[in-house]
Amino acid sequence: MDLNSKAYTVAPDNLLRGAAHPLDMRTIEIKNPKCELVRGALIKVSSDGIYFVAGDVNSESEALTGDVMSILGHAVAEDSSSETLTVSVYVSGGFNKSGITGINDYALTDGDILSAQKYGLYIHS
């Protein structure tokens, strides 16, 4: 038996950054954006408690607003059959700014970085 053979390969992404901050995950229900989501998408919470992906728009094509409260942990395929999606998200930890995304060409702002820190998410350049 060859114990030195390669069993699998891992393609590192650029999302996680070090172990200076504790990393924790949980599942939440988000407003379904009707598009494929990638790992590292910012999840925000509106003033009325609805979780949504940064860059999502409401039915009037107006961008939804809220604080960054988590980061999507795994890619999620498009699902047009449901109003909500149950997803795994990071609720604390250190992250690379270059690994963070949104939808609809969303651009991460300094305000997003500051609001994320309130929830224990530290986004580094």
Domains contained in the chain, CATH given: 24-124 (2.40.300.10)
Q: Report the pLDDT value the prediction gives residue 73, as an integer from 0 to 100.
A: 93
pLDDT of 110 strictly over 70: yes
Q: Report the pLDDT value the prediction gives residue 1, as an integer from 0 to 100.
A: 58
* 91: DSSP letter: E
- Angle value at C-alpha 113, between 56 and 97, nearest 5 degrees: 85
Q: How much is the pTM?
A: 0.83
Q: Report the pLDDT value the prediction gives residue 100, as an integer from 0 to 100.
A: 92
Task: Give the model confidence (pLDDT) of 20-69 as tens digits.
Answer: 888 999 999 998 888 889 999 999 998 888 899 998 876 555 667 889 99
Distance CA 52, CA 28 (A): 10
Residue 47 has phi, psi (to 5 degrees) of -65, -25
Q: Report the pLDDT value the prediction gives residue 27, as an integer from 0 to 100.
A: 95
Task: For tokens 């992250």, name the residue.
Answer: 95
Tokens found for residue 65: 């607003």
